[in-house]
Structure 1
Amino acid sequence: MNGLARRLLAEGVGTALLVCVVVGSGIAAEQLSPDDVGLQLLENSLATVFGLATLILLLGPVSGAHFNPAVSLADWFLGRRDGSGLSLPEVGAYAAAQCVGGIAGAIVANLMFGVETTLSATDRASGPHFLAEVVATAGLVALIFSLVRTGRAAVAAPAVGAYIGAAYWFTSSTSFANPAVTIGRVFSDTFAGIAPGSVPAFVAAQALGAVVGVVLVLALYPTTSGEPDREPSLIDEPLPGR
């Protein structure tokens, strides 16, 4: 298997497993805590935090563990000058693998819990949800590429997992922040689902959020030298006794 095929396999499998974690834990949460939506969200978000961090560690060395077309597109844009990112055709291939994986993951989660695979009826299209997805995606893209551009990619797994876990709670949309995951979640009419009619608004918000995230990265970390241009701060001072 050539290099691109391996990377596409990693992206497809990774996105499938991510959606499987999100949808499967959502179904389990509904069954375990049927009368407490807050507890359902807590169970769903904790599973996603640990699942996403683990998948990044598992597949990051193969494909970069994007699992997200917005991240892949940002990788292409930010890497154009130094040739470090994906090519545009690779972005398209990544996005296709991610979307197929997302749908497959939702179907597998439904099968594991004996839930019929039907289109979701959960309408999430509203102004607050749109804004929430812009914020969630902008933060995710800014986090990932600030780590990459400052030589801290090794901590991406816990950092990204923690951010998404937090964003479940501080955004009204529960932070999809991912077009492929959004499409996948259409295929489960459960706690984690999203109605097909809500998808265009969510994807548009995620695209806008990705643009905002890229602008933030370029403003805060204009080079990839590993150190941003900034004034000295307390974090630069030696600890007492050292």
Structure 2
Amino acid sequence: MSSALPQRLAAESIGTAFLVATVVGSGIMADTLARDPALTLLANTLATGAMLVVLITVLGPVSGAHFNPAISLILALRGELPRRDAGLYILVQTVGGIAGTLVAHAMFALPLLHASSRIRTGGEQWLSEGLATFGLAATILAGLRFERSAVPWLVGLYIAAAYWFTASTSFANPAVAIARSLTDTFAGIRAIDLPGFILAELAGALCALAAMTWLLSARTDNTEIRAAEGRP
């Protein structure tokens, strides 16, 4: 990334805002039109996955397109993002996410802030969030290692799939979770349920960092050994 820090922070804030506006707004639209939970979730899934592909493609060259404190954290721990910058990334991601909720509410003529009453708690929800974030972080780390240009599609497709195979519908993002606590719509989560979600997401990301560091370093070592021996 060659962009200056203010440009990178702006990209992270704008990207997270558009991501949350998509999650919340598509949920409102689908719930209004369909009145069928399965169709609402499908519409929410397609919109979110598509928006992720777009946002990562256009903003990735500016900031890395994290839009997610858990991803910024593990990249900082890998030394790929200065730790001071990581703190600022997390701050603007959170602020941008909240702005995305406000914009979605404004577009649909809802109260700008309306605390969610949607219950999302329990071991199965926390396991789902941990697994969803593990998979997302692993996808990003492996994509950056082997097929950087495919990362936008990998992330968009992974999140689209994780909406359906996890009990929590795969928030996998602390900033998005915080923003979704401010909407009492299809995408919402009660504020009291946030700590469990955020802890599970961070744990999943850290586990992915440990697992992929081992897995990818083993691949690198084997490649170097084969090269040294003159084998493909």
The TM-score range, normalised by the shorter chain, is over 0.9
The equivalent of 2:205 in structure 1 is: 210
The equivalent of 1:88 in structure 2 is: 83
What is the Cα deviation at residue 77 of structure 1? 1.3
The equivalent of 2:33 in structure 1 is: 32
The equivalent of 2:170 in structure 1 is: 175
Amino acid of the structure 2 residue aligned with 1:96: L
What is the Cα deviation at residue 166 of structure 1? 0.1
CA contact 1:149–1:224 (8 Å) conserved in 2: no
**5+ long unaligned stretches in structure 2:** 227-231
Mark the CA change 1:146 to 1:120 in structure 2 (over 3 Å): closer, same or farther: same
Describe the SS at the equivalent of 1:190: coil
Confirm whether residue 140 of structure 1 aligns to residue 141 of structure 2: no
What is the Cα deviation at residue 52 of structure 1? 0.8
* Percent sequence identity over aligned pairs: 46
Describe the SS at the equivalent of 1:119: coil
Describe the SS at the equivalent of 1:74: helix
The structure with the largest helix share of the pair is: 2
The equivalent of 2:47 in structure 1 is: 47
Q: Distance in 2 between matches of 1:10 and 1:147?
A: 21
Confirm whether residue 102 of structure 1 aligns to residue 97 of structure 2: yes
Q: Distance in 1 between matches of 2:165 and 2:196?
A: 19
- Count of residues in correspondence between the two structures: 224
The equivalent of 2:75 in structure 1 is: 75
Mark the CA change 1:202 to 1:56 in structure 2 (over 3 Å): closer, same or farther: same
CA contact 2:143–2:154 (8 Å) conserved in 1: no
CA contact 2:94–2:175 (8 Å) conserved in 1: yes
What is the Cα deviation at residue 223 of structure 1? 6.9
Q: Distance in 2 between matches of 1:209 and 1:200?
A: 14
**CA root-mean-square deviation:** 2.0
Q: Distance in 2 between matches of 1:58 and 1:147?
A: 17
Q: Stretches of 4+ moved more than 2 A in 1? A: 223-231
Describe the SS at the equivalent of 1:192: coil
What is the Cα deviation at residue 174 of structure 1? 0.2
Amino acid of the structure 1 residue aligned with 2:132: A
**5+ long unaligned stretches in structure 1:** 80-84, 232-236, 238-242
Q: Distance in 2 between matches of 1:230 and 1:179?
A: 40
Describe the SS at the equivalent of 2:184: coil
Q: Distance in 1 between matches of 2:191 and 2:199?
A: 14
Amino acid of the structure 2 residue aligned with 1:144: I
The one-character-per-residue Cα deviations of 1:31-57 (angstroms, maximum 9, x if unpaired) are 0111x1011100000000101110101
Q: Distance in 2 between matches of 1:228 and 1:16?
A: 40
Q: Distance in 1 between matches of 2:171 and 2:63?
A: 21
Mark the CA change 1:183 to 1:5 in structure 2 (over 3 Å): closer, same or farther: same
The equivalent of 2:180 in structure 1 is: 185
Mark the CA change 1:110 to 1:230 in structure 2 (over 3 Å): closer, same or farther: farther
| TM-score, structure 1 as length reference | 0.88
Amino acid of the structure 1 residue aligned with 2:19: L
